[in-house]
Amino acid sequence: QVQLVESGGGLVQAGGSLRLSCAASGSMFRINAMGWYRQTPGKQRELVATITSGGRTNAADSVKGRFTISRDNAKNTVYLQMNSLKPEDTAVYYCKQEIATGLLFKDYWGQGTQVTVSS
């Protein structure tokens, strides 16, 4: 069974930095795209950044130039480096990985990690 475990969230002052990690474990054949999403109470989950298996990245306009997504395929891990954090970045951050345990890919989600940015 595949499991994603996130780490790295916490409380930081505005202008500070945090690095999130999300490691997949279990029986996997192949991992395709990876991504980070975030959600605040009463709002829909929104895309933060994604990275393809080939390393191509995409990010929301609100985080471009401040957040960087990367991956380590040998460790089945995706990272989100968050710099110049703002109070509006406060949210629960979720990772997602597209993983094939057989012939088909399926989306797997992490448990979420709280990021709180104080002003």
- Report how far residue 64's alpha carbon sits from residue 8's, in angstroms, rounded to the nearest whole number: 20
State the pLDDT at residue 98: 97
Q: Do the Cβ atoms of 95 and 110 come closer than 8 Å?
A: yes
Q: What is the mean pLDDT of each run of 10 residues along the chain (119 residues)?
A: 95 98 94 97 97 97 98 97 98 97 93 97
Q: Do the Cβ atoms of 35 and 41 come closer than 8 Å?
A: no
Instruction: Single out the residue of 40, 110, 116, 42 nearest to residue 79, CA to CA.
Output: 110
State the pLDDT at residue 35: 98
State the pLDDT at residue 28: 87
State the pLDDT at residue 53: 96
